[in-house]
Structure 1
Amino acid sequence: MTLPHALTGLGDIAGDYDILLCDVWGVIHNGRESWPDACEALARFNREAGHVVLISNSPRPSHDVVAQLDRLGVPRDSWRAFVTSGDATRAELAKRAPGPAWIIGPDRDWPLYEGLGLDVAASAESAAFISVTGPVDDEIEGPEDYRERLAAGAARDLELICANPDRVVQRGDRLIYCGGALADLYESLGGRVTMAGKPYGPIYDLALHEAAALLGRVVDRSRVLCIGDGVVTDVLGANKQGLDCLFVAQGIHGDAARGDDGKLDPARAFDLLKAETTYARYATLDLAW
């Protein structure tokens, strides 16, 4: 692996790509507010170069997340299609209907299950499988709050479907736990886990299908750029798909890739990537044109 090339802005390479598969949380917003420079960079790519497909590990269907983007002030012209881990996971859940499913997650994620014909189990003892979107109260809960309950599922050899592979995301100036952290714990307990979001293939199949529809032709994968701040989700997913990647090194990593001069230090960004045996062709602290 070599050091990622430090970009001054997306405009430096926009002409090399037809499609951007861009992460959402940590790249264009932090759960509290959107970042105008990032949104404008995507909107300008749409105007001048190609098409932006947002690709998010949100456990909800994409149509349900659009309202959140609107509330956060993400302009509609900064994206042209949107796919989520929830979209990809619904196919996995439908295969297992009627269950029953033992569901773990906040009420806001219930649109994931609409129309799938799933029965709901009260606990692991009466479930056919487990479905996790994240902690019920992610403001105060983490994986250890679920150890005893998940251990009961692992003891019964229940499969766990995780609708959000992210371990953590940034909410304002805090990091909060996501479904992937609970899935990690479940695997450590000997449980079986299935995921369809980043870095796994199903969500990329959906995203590239949307890209082909926008282009009106087969996608040239050499002209697709993935953008994201998650090393084990965004970057690893791009690597598995053989796609170029722009690593947004601030995001959930804070100042870990910032040099003493306040700018991106490619060597520090490389260390973050190398720790997970991943590679990004480009890196930047924040997305901008």
Structure 2
Amino acid sequence: MTRIITALSEVSDRYDALFVDLWGCVHDGVKALPDAVAALQAYRAGGGAVVLVTNSPRPRASVEIQLDGFGVARDAWDVIATSGDSARAAMFRGVVGQRVFYMGEQEDTGFFEPLRIQRDPVEITRVPLEEAEGIVCLGPEDPMENPAILRPQLLLAKQRGLKLLCANPDIVVDRGARREWCAGAVAALYTDMGGESLYFGKPHPPIYDLARRRLASLGRDVPPEGILCIGDGIHTDVAGAIGEDHDSLFITGGLAAEETRTTDQPDRDALQAYLEKEQSFPTFAIGKLR
């Protein structure tokens, strides 16, 4: 049964490393969450390693800049693994072809900048859908607009047998008080229509492989039971942790705040009902990371 805790420090000494989600846990898409930052700083001061594992479609260098802008202190984390990095590596291996149709916001087109660490990368060219061999999806062009508006384009893509590379499996994310659609919603729609979607973020294995490599780069050899995954996504953070045999700390005050009746802490009965409905049972739960 999921145990409700009041602070990370109650259980953190059991773990050598944390895999920590960003949106809804460390920041709200606008600014840092001070209690979360302080908790991670304290954990690192005690010798633990913090890997930020995010479904952001951006490269990690871009996420670092974003974190600085939000006010997330540099001493709150060690290294970053993004779904964008994992997806870019796959794209430059040619998993959806060389001529690709791009779905996403224009500010995220840095996704196509060459990877200098990859040998013999495939040369990627952005083309209209009618000329594409595959789709690279970082999200809807307008994240406030329901992805269903993309159905005509996705239907054409399905008829042409195109694969869709999803660089962010999240369905929605909260930017401050505003909820936005993510690439995962587009990929789910495409899959429901009979198309093939390839995922490179939580809860899928590639991003955890990347996170473990980033952890190893710190000189840390940590077994699965020594890692605690923290996040507010029951279908991403918690599902991914379970799939990788890691314990998990579910942040109930994020995406599931309404369902779990979370103010400062979740309502115990509401949390249990939500977890039973989702058939997903994290190791621990807390209202917010602190």
TM-score tier (shorter): over 0.9
Which residues in structure 2 correspond to 1:5-84 (within 5 Å)?
A: 5-84=3-82
Aligned residues: 282
Question: What amino acid sits opposite 2:152 in the alignment?
Answer: E
The question of whether the paired residues in 2 share the 8 Å contact of 1:99 and 1:118 is answered with yes
User: Deviations for 1:63-100, whole angstroms, at most 9, x for unmatched residues?
Assistant: 11111111110111110000100011112101217620
Aligned residues: CA RMSD: 1.5
Deviation at residue 110 of structure 1 after TM alignment: 1.3
SS at match of 1:60: coil
Counterpart selection for 1:218 from 218, 221, 229 = 221
- Which residue number corresponds to residue 275 of structure 1? 277
The question of whether the paired residues in 2 share the 8 Å contact of 1:102 and 1:130 is answered with yes
Unaligned runs of 5+ in 2: 115-120
Deviation at residue 231 of structure 1 after TM alignment: 0.8
Which residues in structure 2 correspond to 1:124-143 (within 5 Å)?
A: 125-138=130-143, 140-143=144-147
Deviating 4+ runs (over 4 angstroms): none
Deviation at residue 109 of structure 1 after TM alignment: 1.5
Counterpart selection for 1:147 from 141, 148, 151 = 151
Deviation at residue 262 of structure 1 after TM alignment: 5.6
SS at match of 2:282: coil
SS at match of 1:95: coil
Counterpart selection for 2:186 from 182, 186, 189 = 182
Counterpart Cα distance in 2 of 1:270 and 1:54:
28
Counterpart Cα distance in 2 of 1:164 and 1:31:
15
- Which residue number corresponds to residue 124 of structure 2? 118
- So what's the TM-score if we normalise by structure 2? 0.93
User: Deviations for 1:1-52, whole angstroms, at most 9, x for unmatched residues?
Assistant: x2x1011100101110110000001101111111100111011111014010
- Which residue number corresponds to residue 207 of structure 1? 211
The question of whether the paired residues in 1 share the 8 Å contact of 2:264 and 2:287 is answered with no
Deviation at residue 265 of structure 1 after TM alignment: 2.3
Question: What amino acid sits opposite 2:248 in the alignment?
Answer: C
Counterpart Cα distance in 1 of 2:240 and 2:150:
27
Counterpart Cα distance in 1 of 2:220 and 2:41:
22
Q: Quickly say closer, same or farther: Cα 1:190–1:64, change in 2 above 3 A.
A: same
Deviation at residue 249 of structure 1 after TM alignment: 0.7
Counterpart Cα distance in 1 of 2:71 and 2:60:
17
Question: What amino acid sits opposite 2:100 in the alignment?
Answer: A
Question: What amino acid sits opposite 1:267 in the alignment?
Answer: D
SS at match of 2:32: coil
The question of whether the paired residues in 1 share the 8 Å contact of 2:253 and 2:265 is answered with no
Identity within the alignment, %: 38
Question: What amino acid sits opposite 1:243 in the alignment?
Answer: H
SS at match of 1:251: coil
